Chain A
Amino acid sequence: MTPIDAKRPLQLNDQGQLRHFLSLDGLPRELLTEILDTADSFLEVGARAVKKVPLLRGKTVCNVFFENSTRTRTTFELAAQRLSADVITLNVSTSSTSKGETLFDTLRNLEAMAADMFVVRHADSGAAHFIAEHVCPEVAIINGGDGRHAHPTQGMLDMLTIRRHKGSFENLSVAIVGDILHSRVARSNMLALKTLGCPDIRVIGPKTLLPVGIEQYGVKVYTDLEQGLKDVDVVIMLRLQRERMQGGLLPSEGEFYRLFGLTTARLAGAKPDAIVMHPGPINRGVEIESAVADGAHSVILNQVTYGIAVRMAVLSMAMSGQTAQRQFEQENAQ
């Protein structure tokens, strides 16, 4: 089964520009490249003494986080500020009341305060789609991570990292290692790599952490780390959550590290100039050895920097696409 791009009309406007950014599913290669090019141009902004451009002046961006986050939330805040937007951040606890009601009512209230854009993180897969489709279609919705489903800005910042270090995707071997099953980052990365033309995408992990039907992403599955890492250009490590030891997915952190932890010795099987990535926060000694995380191959901190540029690109593109769509619809209505 190939993924169906039924979401496409939802996140694109009539001209095929972004109006929401919910998932990388169904987005064409040209659009992903445009995001990367735009992000590249914003990287210069971050290097300047005055780090602001006026693209979102007068606009209000609301970060609504129903799940804890430090890195993603902060980089979204910085990205919006550097675009000169007004930024509000809300950390909404999901425990107090029924999740759906909180989500619906919270966003409806924020919409009434004339927010122009929502960055939403939520524990339920599909939350961002739900908001874009049923809650406030007139507001640009940026998915900051929904359940296990998608983390498209992380996916794009990973792509920017790869492109800046490797130039292009056409001849690369990329390995994604660890807990694929629960990872929205892995899903977004697999989609992005495939769309951008990466010919060799590998996923490595025990069967308990690999989703059924993962072949649909066009990836090769390895259950042995050394085999999977052989001659790869890029290694993307995933965070292993502590709670995976419950429910029988894994016996222990120690055994996981022994089999799937990225050590200097194991990394030696990859290409000599391989880069090591991780969406963070890293668990030293669980999925990655400190010497690797801090070593010469690691680009983990570069990812954070690129994350701001990618989020600036996505925020500005979605705002422009949403504004264009609203103008188009108003003209049509008249």
Chain B
Amino acid sequence: MTLSILGARIIDPASGLDQVSDLHIDAGKIVAIGAAPAGFHAARSLNAEGLVAAPGLVDLSVALREPGYSRKGTIASETRAAAAGGVTSLCCPPRTKPILDTSAVAELILDRAREAGHAKVFPIGALSKGLEGEQLAELIALRDAGCVAFGNGLSGFSNTRTLCRALEYAATFDLTVMFHSQDRDLAHGGLAHEGAMASFLGLPGIPETAETVALARDLLLVEQTGVRAHFSQLTSARGVELIAQAQARGLPVTADVALYQLILTDEALVDFSSLYHVQPPLRTRTDRDGLREAVKAGVIQAISSHHQPHERDAKLAPFGATEPGISSVELLLPLALTLVDDGLLDLPTLLKRLSSGPAHALRLPVGELKVGAAADLVVFDPQASTVAGEQWRSKGENCPFIGHCLPGAVRYTLVDGHISHEA
């Protein structure tokens, strides 16, 4: 099928392209930016005057909940939600049931994702069997099945030597390891950032050092083993400093942050609303500002949703008995545009953190608009607005932003030239 997007402001952060032009698609690929190739006839044309066309967003962490937790979400429902948020490629974390530590689970996820067809899915495999941090998972089999990186989630490794070997093994085959650096002992039993708010509410705290102690250790191990490393879900200003120092030393590490960490702080917990129960926790205003500056400076290359849909009951209990996580992938673009409204980032830089930044971090073959590349695009109206929750496609309604009026509105999301979302 052929398609032309006419008169859009085309922004490709990877190449620096930012101009009003036309873009032409044939057989799932971009065939021209500007004038149509000779003999090209568009079966459908989208009038995109006043709209922005950018690479489809790449989200490094979207829990699809399948297999095992389909009461919370399914591959079909959550990838559909992602398309509504402007996402065309996403990584799903390994905490499924069974855990994504065998190629069979990876294949199942990829089959169902292809069947749904709303977004490209790149699974993150478990670094250790059962995410137990004791025995290595079959990383090469998982890689061959389609896993693009390997992580152990927040569970970590209890034995540092085992972790070190896992990193050496991954380095042998140039695999990327995704860290969620949090010291298990320091975080044990914690529900909120250890600070004035948690103390006031009587919630057990997770100190900043739960992140920084683990990060410092992990960075030293990365340096020693030479493994390719990506640090996911940073929460603290001090943690970001450690990443910046490592990058300044020449260590090629990348990092991402959950979008909600750039917006919310632990002050949101004041009335015990379980919607703000996330792990790792929301931290202070200073931390949020440090994270925002790191996104601006490029120390953090990727902004992700860290989408975690839940069924209603999972959040319907006293704070400590609820499950952590926010469902927000379908608001990814409008919520991220608040960073432009706030004056933190210009639009091309924001789009970079949402497309080529995350794609490069995990070496995903997506995130750019160029002739010959897959036609994965988001087309949005920067002047319009989105009332969050007016339509909702995720199975998880655990989103504190529902009801808010957010800037920008996704008009079309295209995956391989097919329209996966239209509004």
With A1-B196, A130-B272, A213-B196 already in contact, the answer to whether A99 and B202 are too (CB < 8 A) is: no
Q: What is the CA–CA distance of A122 and B313 in the complex, to the nearest angstrom?
A: 19
Within 8 A of B (CB), among A83-142: 98-101, 103-104, 122, 124-127, 129-130, 133-134
Q: What is the CA–CA distance of A79 and B202 in the complex, to the nearest angstrom?
A: 27
Q: Are A99 and B201 interface neighbours, CB within 8 A?
A: no
Contact with A along B173-216 (1 / 0, CB 8 A): 00000000000000000000011111111111101000000000
With A104-B316, A129-B271, A130-B318 already in contact, the answer to whether A149 and B201 are too (CB < 8 A) is: yes
In-complex Cβ contact of A216 among B200, B203, B322 (8 A): B200
Q: Are A99 and B195 interface neighbours, CB within 8 A?
A: no
The answer to whether B267 has its CB under 8 Å from any CB of chain A is: yes
Identify the closest chain B residue to A211 (Cβ).
Answer: B199
Q: Which residues of A contact B122 (CB under 8 A)?
A: none
Interface size on B, as a range, is 20 to 34
Q: Are B267 and A126 interface neighbours, CB within 8 A?
A: no
Expressed in whole angstroms, the minimum distance between the Cβ of B397 and any Cβ of chain A is 14
Q: Are A122 and B205 interface neighbours, CB within 8 A?
A: no
Q: Which residues of B contact A46 (CB under 8 A)?
A: none
Q: Are A122 and B271 interface neighbours, CB within 8 A?
A: no
Expressed in whole angstroms, the minimum distance between the Cβ of A30 and any Cβ of chain B is 23
Q: Are B320 and A126 interface neighbours, CB within 8 A?
A: yes
Expressed in whole angstroms, the minimum distance between the Cβ of B106 and any Cβ of chain A is 31
The answer to whether B319 has its CB under 8 Å from any CB of chain A is: yes
The answer to whether A147 has its CB under 8 Å from any CB of chain B is: yes
Q: Are B199 and A216 interface neighbours, CB within 8 A?
A: yes
Expressed in whole angstroms, the minimum distance between the Cβ of B26 and any Cβ of chain A is 53
Q: Which residues of A contact B196 (CB under 8 A)?
A: 1, 212-213, 216
Q: Which residues of A contact B316 (CB under 8 A)?
A: 100, 104, 134
Contact with A along B261-283 (1 / 0, CB 8 A): 00000010011101000000000
Q: What is the CA–CA distance of A147 and B192 in the complex, to the nearest angstrom?
A: 14
Q: What is the CA–CA distance of A294 and B235 in the complex, to the nearest angstrom?
A: 51
Identify the closest chain B residue to A150 (Cβ).
Answer: B202
Q: Which residues of A contact B220 (CB under 8 A)?
A: none
Q: Are B318 and A100 interface neighbours, CB within 8 A?
A: yes
Identify the closest chain B residue to A134 (Cβ).
Answer: B316
Q: What is the CA–CA distance of A212 and B204 in the complex, to the nearest angstrom?
A: 11
Q: Which residues of B contact A122 (CB under 8 A)?
A: 318
Q: Are A100 and B199 interface neighbours, CB within 8 A?
A: no
Q: Are A126 and B318 interface neighbours, CB within 8 A?
A: yes
Expressed in whole angstroms, the minimum distance between the Cβ of B291 and any Cβ of chain A is 19
The answer to whether B104 has its CB under 8 Å from any CB of chain A is: no
Q: What is the CA–CA distance of A174 and B227 in the complex, to the nearest angstrom?
A: 57
In-complex Cβ contact of A124 among B198, B200, B313, B320 (8 A): B320
Identify the closest chain B residue to A126 (Cβ).
Answer: B272
Q: Which residues of B contact A126 (CB under 8 A)?
A: 201-203, 272, 318-320
Identify the closest chain A residue to B266 (Cβ).
Answer: A1
The answer to whether A4 has its CB under 8 Å from any CB of chain B is: yes
Q: Are A125 and B313 interface neighbours, CB within 8 A?
A: no
The answer to whether B317 has its CB under 8 Å from any CB of chain A is: yes
Q: Which residues of A contact B318 (CB under 8 A)?
A: 99-100, 103, 122, 124-127, 129-130, 146-147
Q: Are B322 and A129 interface neighbours, CB within 8 A?
A: no
The interface centre, meaning the residue of A101, A133, A212 with most chain B CB atoms within 10 A of its CB, is A212
Q: Are B194 and A212 interface neighbours, CB within 8 A?
A: yes
Q: Which residues of B contact A184 (CB under 8 A)?
A: 202
Q: Are B322 and A125 interface neighbours, CB within 8 A?
A: no
The answer to whether A266 has its CB under 8 Å from any CB of chain B is: no
The interface centre, meaning the residue of A10, A130, A214 with most chain B CB atoms within 10 A of its CB, is A130
Q: Are A7 and B199 interface neighbours, CB within 8 A?
A: no
Q: Which residues of B contact A127 (CB under 8 A)?
A: 318
Q: Are A187 and B267 interface neighbours, CB within 8 A?
A: no
Q: Are B319 and A1 interface neighbours, CB within 8 A?
A: no
Q: Are B202 and A213 interface neighbours, CB within 8 A?
A: no
Q: Are A212 and B267 interface neighbours, CB within 8 A?
A: no
Q: What is the CA–CA distance of A132 and B200 in the complex, to the nearest angstrom?
A: 19
Q: Are A130 and B319 interface neighbours, CB within 8 A?
A: yes
Q: Are B199 and A214 interface neighbours, CB within 8 A?
A: yes
The answer to whether A6 has its CB under 8 Å from any CB of chain B is: yes
The answer to whether A54 has its CB under 8 Å from any CB of chain B is: no
Q: Which residues of B contact A1 (CB under 8 A)?
A: 196-197, 267
With A10-B271, A104-B316, A129-B271 already in contact, the answer to whether A99 and B203 are too (CB < 8 A) is: no
Q: Which residues of B contact A129 (CB under 8 A)?
A: 271-272, 318
Q: Are B202 and A7 interface neighbours, CB within 8 A?
A: no
Q: Which residues of A contact B201 (CB under 8 A)?
A: 125-126, 149
With A130-B272, A212-B205 already in contact, the answer to whether A3 and B200 are too (CB < 8 A) is: yes
Q: Which residues of A contact B108 (CB under 8 A)?
A: none
Contact with B along A250-274 (1 / 0, CB 8 A): 0000000000000000000000000
Q: What is the CA–CA distance of A125 and B191 in the complex, to the nearest angstrom?
A: 10
The answer to whether A278 has its CB under 8 Å from any CB of chain B is: no
The answer to whether A202 has its CB under 8 Å from any CB of chain B is: no
Q: Are B272 and A212 interface neighbours, CB within 8 A?
A: no
Q: Are B320 and A125 interface neighbours, CB within 8 A?
A: yes
Q: What is the CA–CA distance of A133 and B315 in the complex, to the nearest angstrom?
A: 13
Within 8 A of A (CB), among B214-243: none
Expressed in whole angstroms, the minimum distance between the Cβ of A148 and any Cβ of chain B is 3
Q: What is the CA–CA distance of A104 and B274 in the complex, to the nearest angstrom?
A: 14
14 new A-B pairs (CB below 8 Å) besides A1-B197, A101-B317, A212-B198?
A: A3-B200, A4-B270, A99-B318, A100-B316, A100-B322, A104-B317, A124-B320, A125-B201, A125-B320, A127-B318, A211-B198, A212-B199, A212-B205, A213-B200
Query: What are 10 A-B pairs with beta-carbon distances under 8 A?
Result: A6-B271, A126-B203, A126-B320, A133-B271, A149-B203, A150-B202, A187-B200, A212-B205, A214-B199, A216-B196
Which residues of A are at the interface with B, using a C-beta cutoff of 8 A? 1, 3-4, 6-7, 10, 25, 98-101, 103-104, 122, 124-127, 129-130, 133-134, 146-150, 184, 187, 211-214, 216
7 interchain residue pairs of minimum CB distance? A100-B317, A213-B196, A148-B202, A149-B202, A126-B272, A211-B199, A124-B318
